[in-house]
Structure 1
Amino acid sequence: MSLHSLYRPLGNSGIMVSPLGLGTVKLGRNQGVKYPAAFRIPDDNEARALLDNARMLGINLLDTAPAYGNSEERLGKLLRGQREQWVIASKVGEEFEGGVSRFDFSAAHTRRSVERSLQKLHTDVIDVLLVHSDGNDLAILEQGEVCTTLAALKAEGKIHSFGFSGKTAEGNLLALQQGADCAMVTYNLAQQDEHRVLDYAALHGKGILVKKALASGHACLAEGQDPLTASFALVFGHIGVSAAIVGTINPAHLKQNAEAVAALLK
Protein backbone atom coordinates (compact mmCIF):
# COMPACT_ATOMS: atom_id res chain seq x y z
CA MET A 1 0.00 0.00 0.00
CA SER A 2 1.58 3.29 -1.11
CA LEU A 3 0.83 6.99 -1.41
CA HIS A 4 1.55 7.33 -5.14
CA SER A 5 -2.10 7.77 -6.13
CA LEU A 6 -2.94 10.07 -3.23
CA TYR A 7 -1.00 13.24 -4.07
CA ARG A 8 -2.88 16.46 -3.39
CA PRO A 9 -2.40 20.14 -4.19
CA LEU A 10 -0.57 22.46 -1.83
CA GLY A 11 -3.31 25.08 -1.98
CA ASN A 12 -3.22 27.02 -5.25
CA SER A 13 0.59 26.87 -5.52
CA GLY A 14 0.55 24.39 -8.40
CA ILE A 15 2.63 21.94 -6.34
CA MET A 16 1.39 18.39 -5.79
CA VAL A 17 2.54 16.73 -2.57
CA SER A 18 2.21 13.34 -0.96
CA PRO A 19 -0.09 13.52 2.07
CA LEU A 20 2.83 12.40 4.23
CA GLY A 21 6.10 14.30 4.16
CA LEU A 22 9.41 13.26 5.69
CA GLY A 23 10.96 15.64 8.20
CA THR A 24 14.77 15.53 8.05
CA VAL A 25 15.96 17.25 11.22
CA LYS A 26 17.33 13.87 12.39
CA LEU A 27 19.58 13.68 9.33
CA GLY A 28 21.55 16.67 10.53
CA ARG A 29 20.98 17.47 14.18
CA ASN A 30 20.55 15.63 17.47
CA GLN A 31 21.11 18.52 19.87
CA GLY A 32 18.34 20.63 21.34
CA VAL A 33 15.53 18.56 19.80
CA LYS A 34 12.30 17.65 21.56
CA TYR A 35 12.10 13.92 20.95
CA PRO A 36 11.43 11.41 23.75
CA ALA A 37 14.70 9.49 23.24
CA ALA A 38 18.27 10.27 22.18
CA PHE A 39 19.30 9.13 18.71
CA ARG A 40 22.35 8.73 16.48
CA ILE A 41 22.48 10.67 13.23
CA PRO A 42 22.45 8.10 10.39
CA ASP A 43 25.42 7.73 8.08
CA ASP A 44 25.13 8.33 4.33
CA ASN A 45 24.22 4.73 3.49
CA GLU A 46 21.47 4.69 6.11
CA ALA A 47 20.18 8.10 5.01
CA ARG A 48 20.18 7.07 1.36
CA ALA A 49 18.26 3.89 2.18
CA LEU A 50 15.72 5.92 4.16
CA LEU A 51 15.14 8.27 1.22
CA ASP A 52 14.88 5.33 -1.20
CA ASN A 53 12.28 3.75 1.08
CA ALA A 54 10.36 7.02 1.25
CA ARG A 55 10.28 7.27 -2.52
CA MET A 56 9.08 3.66 -2.89
CA LEU A 57 6.31 4.36 -0.38
CA GLY A 58 5.16 7.28 -2.52
CA ILE A 59 6.52 10.11 -0.38
CA ASN A 60 7.71 13.05 -2.47
CA LEU A 61 7.81 15.81 0.18
CA LEU A 62 10.93 16.51 2.24
CA ASP A 63 11.12 19.12 5.00
CA THR A 64 14.47 20.64 5.96
CA ALA A 65 15.90 23.89 7.31
CA PRO A 66 19.18 25.72 7.92
CA ALA A 67 18.54 25.13 11.63
CA TYR A 68 18.59 21.35 11.09
CA GLY A 69 22.37 21.07 11.30
CA ASN A 70 23.77 19.82 7.98
CA SER A 71 20.46 18.37 6.78
CA GLU A 72 20.29 20.63 3.70
CA GLU A 73 23.85 19.83 2.67
CA ARG A 74 23.31 16.10 3.07
CA LEU A 75 20.08 16.18 1.07
CA GLY A 76 21.81 18.10 -1.69
CA LYS A 77 24.35 15.27 -2.08
CA LEU A 78 21.95 12.39 -1.53
CA LEU A 79 19.35 13.65 -4.04
CA ARG A 80 21.72 14.21 -6.95
CA GLY A 81 20.17 12.87 -10.14
CA GLN A 82 16.67 12.69 -8.66
CA ARG A 83 15.89 16.29 -7.73
CA GLU A 84 12.84 16.42 -10.02
CA GLN A 85 11.23 13.58 -8.09
CA TRP A 86 11.06 15.55 -4.85
CA VAL A 87 9.27 18.56 -3.42
CA ILE A 88 11.66 20.27 -1.03
CA ALA A 89 10.47 22.57 1.72
CA SER A 90 13.12 24.56 3.56
CA LYS A 91 13.06 27.56 5.89
CA VAL A 92 14.57 30.91 6.73
CA GLY A 93 15.00 32.91 9.92
CA GLU A 94 16.52 30.44 12.38
CA GLU A 95 20.19 29.48 12.60
CA PHE A 96 21.50 26.79 14.95
CA GLU A 97 25.15 27.21 15.89
CA GLY A 98 27.11 25.90 18.86
CA GLY A 99 24.00 24.28 20.30
CA VAL A 100 22.08 27.56 20.36
CA SER A 101 19.41 29.00 18.06
CA ARG A 102 19.50 32.60 16.88
CA PHE A 103 16.98 34.36 14.68
CA ASP A 104 17.23 36.98 11.96
CA PHE A 105 14.25 38.03 9.83
CA SER A 106 15.89 40.95 8.03
CA ALA A 107 15.74 41.28 4.26
CA ALA A 108 19.50 40.88 3.93
CA HIS A 109 19.65 37.70 6.00
CA THR A 110 16.60 36.25 4.24
CA ARG A 111 18.27 36.68 0.85
CA ARG A 112 21.61 35.29 2.04
CA SER A 113 19.91 32.32 3.68
CA VAL A 114 17.94 31.39 0.57
CA GLU A 115 21.01 31.68 -1.66
CA ARG A 116 22.94 29.44 0.75
CA SER A 117 20.10 26.88 0.82
CA LEU A 118 20.04 26.80 -2.98
CA GLN A 119 23.76 26.05 -3.00
CA LYS A 120 23.60 23.39 -0.29
CA LEU A 121 20.63 21.65 -1.88
CA HIS A 122 22.25 21.79 -5.34
CA THR A 123 19.10 23.17 -6.89
CA ASP A 124 17.99 26.18 -8.91
CA VAL A 125 14.70 26.57 -7.08
CA ILE A 126 13.28 25.65 -3.67
CA ASP A 127 9.70 24.44 -3.92
CA VAL A 128 8.45 25.75 -0.57
CA LEU A 129 10.27 28.29 1.62
CA LEU A 130 8.86 28.83 5.11
CA VAL A 131 9.59 31.46 7.71
CA HIS A 132 10.95 29.65 10.79
CA SER A 133 9.29 31.68 13.53
CA ASP A 134 10.84 32.25 16.97
CA GLY A 135 7.35 32.52 18.46
CA ASN A 136 6.93 36.27 18.00
CA ASP A 137 4.74 35.66 14.97
CA LEU A 138 2.92 38.98 14.77
CA ALA A 139 6.09 41.03 15.30
CA ILE A 140 7.85 39.14 12.49
CA LEU A 141 4.97 39.76 10.11
CA GLU A 142 4.40 43.36 11.09
CA GLN A 143 8.03 44.38 10.51
CA GLY A 144 7.46 43.11 6.99
CA GLU A 145 10.93 42.42 5.63
CA VAL A 146 11.02 38.64 5.55
CA CYS A 147 7.74 37.96 3.70
CA THR A 148 8.27 40.88 1.32
CA THR A 149 11.70 39.47 0.50
CA LEU A 150 10.32 35.98 -0.03
CA ALA A 151 7.67 37.38 -2.39
CA ALA A 152 10.48 39.05 -4.36
CA LEU A 153 12.49 35.80 -4.46
CA LYS A 154 9.38 34.02 -5.73
CA ALA A 155 9.02 36.60 -8.51
CA GLU A 156 12.70 36.03 -9.36
CA GLY A 157 12.09 32.28 -9.67
CA LYS A 158 14.36 31.23 -6.81
CA ILE A 159 11.49 29.81 -4.80
CA HIS A 160 8.24 28.41 -6.11
CA SER A 161 6.09 29.27 -3.11
CA PHE A 162 6.49 30.68 0.38
CA GLY A 163 4.76 30.35 3.70
CA PHE A 164 4.95 30.75 7.45
CA SER A 165 5.79 28.16 10.09
CA GLY A 166 4.43 29.94 13.12
CA LYS A 167 3.81 29.17 16.75
CA THR A 168 0.36 30.77 17.01
CA ALA A 169 -2.95 30.62 15.18
CA GLU A 170 -2.93 34.42 14.96
CA GLY A 171 0.45 34.44 13.25
CA ASN A 172 -0.29 31.70 10.73
CA LEU A 173 -3.66 33.25 9.93
CA LEU A 174 -2.15 36.71 9.38
CA ALA A 175 0.56 35.27 7.14
CA LEU A 176 -2.06 33.66 4.90
CA GLN A 177 -4.09 36.87 4.86
CA GLN A 178 -0.98 38.81 3.83
CA GLY A 179 -0.35 36.60 0.80
CA ALA A 180 1.61 33.55 1.95
CA ASP A 181 0.92 30.47 -0.16
CA CYS A 182 0.84 28.12 2.81
CA ALA A 183 1.29 27.77 6.55
CA MET A 184 2.87 25.09 8.68
CA VAL A 185 0.74 24.56 11.78
CA THR A 186 0.80 22.41 14.90
CA TYR A 187 -2.26 20.18 14.91
CA ASN A 188 -2.54 16.95 16.86
CA LEU A 189 -4.58 15.10 19.45
CA ALA A 190 -3.43 17.46 22.21
CA GLN A 191 -3.26 20.77 20.30
CA GLN A 192 -6.08 21.87 18.02
CA ASP A 193 -6.22 25.64 18.53
CA GLU A 194 -5.09 26.22 14.94
CA HIS A 195 -8.27 24.71 13.54
CA ARG A 196 -9.37 28.14 12.31
CA VAL A 197 -6.18 28.43 10.24
CA LEU A 198 -7.14 25.19 8.50
CA ASP A 199 -10.66 26.57 7.93
CA TYR A 200 -9.27 29.76 6.37
CA ALA A 201 -6.88 27.81 4.14
CA ALA A 202 -9.64 25.58 2.83
CA LEU A 203 -11.79 28.60 1.92
CA HIS A 204 -9.02 30.62 0.28
CA GLY A 205 -6.93 28.08 -1.63
CA LYS A 206 -3.98 28.09 0.76
CA GLY A 207 -1.81 25.10 1.57
CA ILE A 208 -1.47 23.60 5.04
CA LEU A 209 1.47 21.52 6.22
CA VAL A 210 0.94 19.98 9.65
CA LYS A 211 3.93 19.68 11.98
CA LYS A 212 3.95 17.62 15.17
CA ALA A 213 1.03 15.52 13.96
CA LEU A 214 2.28 12.77 16.29
CA ALA A 215 3.28 15.28 19.00
CA SER A 216 7.00 14.72 18.26
CA GLY A 217 6.68 11.06 19.23
CA HIS A 218 4.69 11.76 22.38
CA ALA A 219 1.22 10.96 21.00
CA CYS A 220 -0.77 8.83 23.41
CA LEU A 221 -4.36 7.79 24.06
CA ALA A 222 -6.28 5.66 26.47
CA GLU A 223 -5.45 1.97 26.58
CA GLY A 224 -6.69 0.05 23.58
CA GLN A 225 -6.63 3.02 21.20
CA ASP A 226 -4.06 3.33 18.42
CA PRO A 227 -2.40 6.77 18.57
CA LEU A 228 -1.10 6.57 15.01
CA THR A 229 -4.50 5.93 13.46
CA ALA A 230 -6.24 8.45 15.71
CA SER A 231 -3.64 11.15 15.02
CA PHE A 232 -3.81 10.82 11.25
CA ALA A 233 -7.62 10.54 11.33
CA LEU A 234 -7.73 13.90 13.10
CA VAL A 235 -5.26 15.57 10.73
CA PHE A 236 -6.79 14.32 7.49
CA GLY A 237 -10.30 14.74 8.77
CA HIS A 238 -9.96 18.40 7.80
CA ILE A 239 -10.22 19.22 4.10
CA GLY A 240 -7.74 22.08 4.47
CA VAL A 241 -4.75 19.84 5.22
CA SER A 242 -2.32 19.27 2.36
CA ALA A 243 0.24 17.08 4.12
CA ALA A 244 1.54 16.02 7.51
CA ILE A 245 5.29 16.26 8.09
CA VAL A 246 6.63 13.48 10.31
CA GLY A 247 10.33 13.15 11.10
CA THR A 248 11.84 9.70 11.47
CA ILE A 249 15.04 7.83 10.71
CA ASN A 250 13.46 4.46 11.51
CA PRO A 251 12.50 2.60 8.28
CA ALA A 252 9.85 0.57 10.13
CA HIS A 253 8.22 3.71 11.50
CA LEU A 254 8.33 5.33 8.07
CA LYS A 255 6.53 2.34 6.57
CA GLN A 256 3.96 2.27 9.39
CA ASN A 257 3.23 5.97 8.95
CA ALA A 258 2.85 5.71 5.17
CA GLU A 259 0.63 2.64 5.39
CA ALA A 260 -1.56 4.25 8.07
CA VAL A 261 -2.09 7.36 5.94
CA ALA A 262 -2.72 5.31 2.78
CA ALA A 263 -5.28 3.11 4.54
CA LEU A 264 -7.06 6.17 5.87
CA LEU A 265 -7.24 8.04 2.56
CA LYS A 266 -7.99 5.22 0.12
Structure 2
Amino acid sequence: MKTLHDLHRPLGATGLMVSPLGLGTVKLGRDQGVKYPSGFTIPDDRDAANLLALAQELGINLIDTAPAYGHSEERLGKLLRGQRDNWIIVSKVGEEFESGQSRHDFSPQHTRFSVERSLKLLGTDCIDLVLVHSDGQDVEILKDTGVYETLDALKREGAIRAFGLSGKTVEGGLLALDKGDCAMVTYNLNEQSERQVIDHAATLGKAILIKKALASGHVCLDSGVDPVQASFELVFGHPGVASAIIGTINPLHLSHNVRVAVSVIQSRR
Protein backbone atom coordinates (compact mmCIF):
# COMPACT_ATOMS: atom_id res chain seq x y z
CA MET A 1 0.00 0.00 0.00
CA LYS A 2 1.33 3.42 -0.98
CA THR A 3 1.35 5.88 1.91
CA LEU A 4 2.46 9.43 2.65
CA HIS A 5 4.44 8.53 5.78
CA ASP A 6 7.84 9.16 4.16
CA LEU A 7 6.70 12.24 2.22
CA HIS A 8 5.94 14.68 5.04
CA ARG A 9 7.33 18.15 4.40
CA PRO A 10 7.81 21.43 6.33
CA LEU A 11 4.80 23.70 6.82
CA GLY A 12 6.75 26.81 5.86
CA ALA A 13 8.88 28.06 8.74
CA THR A 14 6.50 26.91 11.49
CA GLY A 15 8.66 23.95 12.50
CA LEU A 16 5.73 21.61 11.81
CA MET A 17 5.97 18.66 9.42
CA VAL A 18 2.80 17.84 7.48
CA SER A 19 1.57 15.26 5.04
CA PRO A 20 1.16 16.50 1.43
CA LEU A 21 -2.56 15.78 1.73
CA GLY A 22 -4.67 16.94 4.65
CA LEU A 23 -8.15 15.78 5.58
CA GLY A 24 -10.86 18.44 5.46
CA THR A 25 -13.69 17.79 7.88
CA VAL A 26 -16.60 20.04 6.91
CA LYS A 27 -18.56 16.88 6.04
CA LEU A 28 -18.15 15.57 9.59
CA GLY A 29 -20.18 18.45 10.96
CA ARG A 30 -22.26 20.26 8.37
CA ASP A 31 -24.46 19.30 5.42
CA GLN A 32 -26.15 22.67 4.76
CA GLY A 33 -24.87 25.38 2.48
CA VAL A 34 -21.98 23.33 1.12
CA LYS A 35 -20.88 23.52 -2.50
CA TYR A 36 -20.51 19.91 -3.56
CA PRO A 37 -21.94 18.40 -6.77
CA SER A 38 -23.98 15.77 -4.90
CA GLY A 39 -25.58 15.46 -1.51
CA PHE A 40 -24.11 13.40 1.32
CA THR A 41 -24.95 12.06 4.74
CA ILE A 42 -22.85 13.15 7.72
CA PRO A 43 -21.09 9.95 8.87
CA ASP A 44 -21.87 8.49 12.26
CA ASP A 45 -19.17 8.17 14.92
CA ARG A 46 -18.09 4.70 13.84
CA ASP A 47 -17.68 5.66 10.18
CA ALA A 48 -15.96 8.91 11.14
CA ALA A 49 -13.54 7.06 13.44
CA ASN A 50 -12.81 4.54 10.68
CA LEU A 51 -12.13 7.36 8.23
CA LEU A 52 -9.68 9.02 10.62
CA ALA A 53 -7.96 5.69 11.27
CA LEU A 54 -7.62 5.11 7.53
CA ALA A 55 -6.22 8.61 7.03
CA GLN A 56 -3.61 7.93 9.70
CA GLU A 57 -2.75 4.54 8.19
CA LEU A 58 -2.27 6.26 4.82
CA GLY A 59 0.19 8.72 6.36
CA ILE A 60 -2.07 11.75 6.69
CA ASN A 61 -1.31 13.79 9.82
CA LEU A 62 -2.95 17.12 8.87
CA ILE A 63 -6.59 17.75 9.72
CA ASP A 64 -8.55 20.87 8.81
CA THR A 65 -11.62 22.09 10.68
CA ALA A 66 -13.41 25.34 11.57
CA PRO A 67 -16.16 26.74 13.78
CA ALA A 68 -18.15 27.26 10.56
CA TYR A 69 -18.08 23.48 9.93
CA GLY A 70 -21.02 22.83 12.23
CA HIS A 71 -20.20 20.16 14.83
CA SER A 72 -16.82 19.26 13.26
CA GLU A 73 -14.59 20.58 16.06
CA GLU A 74 -16.72 19.03 18.79
CA ARG A 75 -16.73 15.65 17.04
CA LEU A 76 -12.99 15.74 16.41
CA GLY A 77 -12.35 16.49 20.06
CA LYS A 78 -14.05 13.22 20.97
CA LEU A 79 -12.83 11.14 18.03
CA LEU A 80 -9.17 12.16 18.47
CA ARG A 81 -9.08 11.74 22.25
CA GLY A 82 -5.76 10.12 23.16
CA GLN A 83 -4.38 10.74 19.65
CA ARG A 84 -3.55 14.46 19.82
CA ASP A 85 0.18 13.95 19.26
CA ASN A 86 -0.55 12.15 15.97
CA TRP A 87 -2.18 15.14 14.30
CA ILE A 88 -1.43 18.66 13.11
CA ILE A 89 -4.72 20.51 13.62
CA VAL A 90 -5.78 23.53 11.58
CA SER A 91 -8.80 25.54 12.66
CA LYS A 92 -10.14 29.00 11.87
CA VAL A 93 -11.65 32.18 13.23
CA GLY A 94 -14.01 34.78 11.83
CA GLU A 95 -16.89 32.77 10.39
CA GLU A 96 -19.81 31.28 12.31
CA PHE A 97 -22.52 29.09 10.79
CA GLU A 98 -25.83 29.17 12.61
CA SER A 99 -29.37 28.25 11.52
CA GLY A 100 -28.21 27.64 7.97
CA GLN A 101 -26.52 31.04 7.64
CA SER A 102 -22.93 32.27 7.80
CA ARG A 103 -21.98 35.42 9.68
CA HIS A 104 -18.56 36.95 10.18
CA ASP A 105 -16.87 38.62 13.13
CA PHE A 106 -13.16 39.43 13.01
CA SER A 107 -13.01 41.58 16.15
CA PRO A 108 -10.29 40.94 18.75
CA GLN A 109 -12.92 39.91 21.30
CA HIS A 110 -14.55 37.36 19.05
CA THR A 111 -11.21 36.08 17.77
CA ARG A 112 -10.03 35.32 21.29
CA PHE A 113 -13.42 33.82 22.22
CA SER A 114 -13.35 31.65 19.09
CA VAL A 115 -9.85 30.27 19.73
CA GLU A 116 -10.64 29.54 23.38
CA ARG A 117 -13.84 27.73 22.34
CA SER A 118 -11.95 25.71 19.70
CA LEU A 119 -9.33 24.70 22.26
CA LYS A 120 -12.07 23.42 24.54
CA LEU A 121 -14.04 21.62 21.81
CA LEU A 122 -10.93 20.02 20.31
CA GLY A 123 -9.70 18.94 23.74
CA THR A 124 -6.26 20.46 23.34
CA ASP A 125 -4.18 23.17 24.97
CA CYS A 126 -2.70 24.38 21.68
CA ILE A 127 -3.94 24.55 18.08
CA ASP A 128 -1.17 24.12 15.54
CA LEU A 129 -2.46 26.62 12.97
CA VAL A 130 -5.36 29.07 13.07
CA LEU A 131 -6.48 30.74 9.86
CA VAL A 132 -8.72 33.76 9.40
CA HIS A 133 -11.84 32.49 7.59
CA SER A 134 -12.25 35.40 5.18
CA ASP A 135 -15.54 36.63 3.72
CA GLY A 136 -13.62 37.94 0.70
CA GLN A 137 -12.62 41.36 2.07
CA ASP A 138 -9.13 40.04 2.78
CA VAL A 139 -7.12 43.26 2.91
CA GLU A 140 -9.67 45.17 4.97
CA ILE A 141 -9.93 42.28 7.44
CA LEU A 142 -6.18 42.09 7.93
CA LYS A 143 -5.64 45.85 8.14
CA ASP A 144 -8.68 47.11 10.03
CA THR A 145 -10.15 44.51 12.40
CA GLY A 146 -7.28 43.59 14.73
CA VAL A 147 -7.70 39.88 14.00
CA TYR A 148 -4.05 39.32 13.03
CA GLU A 149 -2.77 41.24 16.04
CA THR A 150 -4.97 39.11 18.30
CA LEU A 151 -3.73 35.88 16.71
CA ASP A 152 -0.15 37.07 17.11
CA ALA A 153 -0.83 37.64 20.82
CA LEU A 154 -2.40 34.17 21.15
CA LYS A 155 0.69 32.72 19.47
CA ARG A 156 2.96 34.46 21.96
CA GLU A 157 0.76 33.16 24.78
CA GLY A 158 1.15 29.59 23.49
CA ALA A 159 -2.51 29.00 22.61
CA ILE A 160 -1.64 28.56 18.92
CA ARG A 161 1.60 27.71 17.12
CA ALA A 162 1.04 29.62 13.89
CA PHE A 163 -1.55 31.76 12.12
CA GLY A 164 -2.53 32.92 8.67
CA LEU A 165 -5.39 33.60 6.27
CA SER A 166 -7.76 31.42 4.29
CA GLY A 167 -8.46 34.13 1.75
CA LYS A 168 -9.92 34.82 -1.67
CA THR A 169 -7.67 37.47 -3.22
CA VAL A 170 -4.07 37.80 -4.33
CA GLU A 171 -3.64 41.05 -2.38
CA GLY A 172 -4.92 39.43 0.80
CA GLY A 173 -2.74 36.38 0.37
CA LEU A 174 0.40 38.47 -0.12
CA LEU A 175 -0.37 40.60 2.94
CA ALA A 176 -1.20 37.50 4.99
CA LEU A 177 2.20 35.99 4.23
CA ASP A 178 4.11 39.19 4.96
CA LYS A 179 2.58 39.48 8.45
CA GLY A 180 1.76 35.85 9.28
CA ASP A 181 2.88 32.25 8.84
CA CYS A 182 0.54 30.80 6.21
CA ALA A 183 -1.90 31.46 3.42
CA MET A 184 -4.57 29.01 2.30
CA VAL A 185 -5.43 29.59 -1.37
CA THR A 186 -7.65 28.12 -4.05
CA TYR A 187 -5.56 26.45 -6.76
CA ASN A 188 -6.91 23.85 -9.17
CA LEU A 189 -7.38 23.03 -12.84
CA ASN A 190 -10.24 25.52 -13.10
CA GLU A 191 -8.90 28.36 -10.93
CA GLN A 192 -5.28 29.53 -10.73
CA SER A 193 -5.62 33.27 -10.13
CA GLU A 194 -3.88 33.04 -6.71
CA ARG A 195 -0.72 31.44 -8.05
CA GLN A 196 1.19 34.65 -7.30
CA VAL A 197 0.58 34.05 -3.60
CA ILE A 198 2.18 30.61 -3.85
CA ASP A 199 5.14 32.13 -5.70
CA HIS A 200 5.54 34.74 -2.95
CA ALA A 201 5.41 32.09 -0.23
CA ALA A 202 8.17 30.14 -1.94
CA THR A 203 10.45 33.17 -1.92
CA LEU A 204 9.70 33.91 1.76
CA GLY A 205 9.84 30.31 2.97
CA LYS A 206 6.29 30.68 4.30
CA ALA A 207 3.54 28.05 4.30
CA ILE A 208 0.89 27.45 1.64
CA LEU A 209 -2.12 25.20 2.06
CA ILE A 210 -4.32 24.51 -0.95
CA LYS A 211 -8.11 24.44 -0.69
CA LYS A 212 -10.40 23.14 -3.43
CA ALA A 213 -7.52 21.27 -5.12
CA LEU A 214 -10.15 19.08 -6.79
CA ALA A 215 -12.53 22.05 -7.28
CA SER A 216 -14.88 20.67 -4.58
CA GLY A 217 -15.48 17.64 -6.80
CA HIS A 218 -16.31 19.72 -9.87
CA VAL A 219 -13.12 19.06 -11.87
CA CYS A 220 -13.99 17.92 -15.39
CA LEU A 221 -11.54 16.68 -18.01
CA ASP A 222 -11.70 14.77 -21.28
CA SER A 223 -12.33 11.08 -20.78
CA GLY A 224 -9.24 8.97 -20.32
CA VAL A 225 -7.49 11.45 -18.02
CA ASP A 226 -7.70 10.93 -14.27
CA PRO A 227 -8.81 14.32 -12.92
CA VAL A 228 -7.21 13.60 -9.56
CA GLN A 229 -3.84 12.92 -11.17
CA ALA A 230 -4.03 16.02 -13.36
CA SER A 231 -5.02 18.13 -10.34
CA PHE A 232 -2.19 16.82 -8.18
CA GLU A 233 0.35 17.27 -10.97
CA LEU A 234 -0.63 20.95 -11.01
CA VAL A 235 -0.67 21.40 -7.23
CA PHE A 236 2.49 19.46 -6.38
CA GLY A 237 4.29 20.85 -9.40
CA HIS A 238 4.71 24.09 -7.43
CA PRO A 239 7.50 24.00 -4.82
CA GLY A 240 5.67 26.54 -2.65
CA VAL A 241 2.85 24.13 -1.76
CA ALA A 242 3.07 22.38 1.59
CA SER A 243 -0.20 20.45 1.53
CA ALA A 244 -3.58 20.22 -0.17
CA ILE A 245 -6.71 19.79 1.93
CA ILE A 246 -9.10 17.15 0.56
CA GLY A 247 -12.56 17.03 2.10
CA THR A 248 -13.74 13.50 1.37
CA ILE A 249 -15.67 11.13 3.65
CA ASN A 250 -15.43 8.28 1.13
CA PRO A 251 -12.70 5.76 2.13
CA LEU A 252 -12.20 4.64 -1.47
CA HIS A 253 -11.76 8.22 -2.66
CA LEU A 254 -9.34 8.92 0.18
CA SER A 255 -7.24 5.85 -0.65
CA HIS A 256 -7.23 6.74 -4.35
CA ASN A 257 -6.24 10.34 -3.62
CA VAL A 258 -3.29 9.20 -1.51
CA ARG A 259 -2.18 6.62 -4.05
CA VAL A 260 -2.18 9.22 -6.83
CA ALA A 261 -0.48 11.87 -4.69
CA VAL A 262 2.33 9.46 -3.79
CA SER A 263 2.90 8.60 -7.45
CA VAL A 264 2.91 12.24 -8.54
CA ILE A 265 5.25 13.39 -5.76
CA GLN A 266 7.65 10.47 -6.16
CA SER A 267 7.81 11.03 -9.95
CA ARG A 268 9.06 14.58 -9.29
CA ARG A 269 11.91 13.55 -7.01
TM-score by length of 2: 0.98
SS for the counterpart of 1:244 is: strand
In 1, the alpha carbon distance for the partners of 2:264 and 2:170 equals 26
> Partner of 1:107 in structure 2?
108
The code of the aligned residue for 1:81 comes to: G
In 1, the alpha carbon distance for the partners of 2:170 and 2:250 equals 31
Q: Shift in Å at residue 223 of structure 1?
A: 2.2
Q: How does 1:59-208 map to 2 (within 5 A)?
A: 59-177=60-178, 179-208=179-208
After TM superposition, the structure 1 stretch with the greater mean CA deviation from structure 2, 139-148 or 38-47, is 139-148
SS for the counterpart of 2:231 is: helix
The code of the aligned residue for 1:27 comes to: L
> Partner of 2:11 in structure 1?
10
In 1, the alpha carbon distance for the partners of 2:41 and 2:68 equals 18
In 2, the alpha carbon distance for the partners of 1:167 and 1:196 equals 12
SS for the counterpart of 1:233 is: helix
Q: Shift in Å at residue 147 of structure 1?
A: 0.3
> Partner of 2:235 in structure 1?
235
Q: Shift in Å at residue 227 of structure 1?
A: 0.6
In 2, the alpha carbon distance for the partners of 1:162 and 1:260 equals 29
Percent of paired sites with the same residue: 66
> Partner of 1:213 in structure 2?
213
> Partner of 2:246 in structure 1?
246
> Partner of 1:265 in structure 2?
265
In 1, the alpha carbon distance for the partners of 2:64 and 2:169 equals 20
The code of the aligned residue for 2:217 comes to: G
In 2, the alpha carbon distance for the partners of 1:227 and 1:259 equals 13
TM-score by length of 1: 0.99
The code of the aligned residue for 1:156 comes to: E
> Partner of 1:46 in structure 2?
47
The code of the aligned residue for 2:181 comes to: D
Q: Shift in Å at residue 144 of structure 1?
A: 4.3
The code of the aligned residue for 2:190 comes to: A
Q: Cα deviation per residue 1:42-88 (whole Å; 9 max; x = unaligned)?
A: 00000000000000000000000000000000000000111000000
Number of residue pairs matched by the alignment: 265
CA RMSD of aligned residues (A): 0.6
Q: Cα deviation per residue 1:105-124 (whole Å; 9 max; x = unaligned)?
A: 00000000000000000000
Which 5+ residue runs of structure 1 have no aligned equivalent?
none
In 2, the alpha carbon distance for the partners of 1:155 and 1:87 equals 19
Q: Shift in Å at residue 142 of structure 1?
A: 1.5
Q: Shift in Å at residue 264 of structure 1?
A: 1.0
The code of the aligned residue for 1:168 comes to: T
SS for the counterpart of 1:149 is: helix
Q: Shift in Å at residue 224 of structure 1?
A: 1.9
In 1, the alpha carbon distance for the partners of 2:183 and 2:145 equals 17
In 2, the alpha carbon distance for the partners of 1:138 and 1:187 equals 19
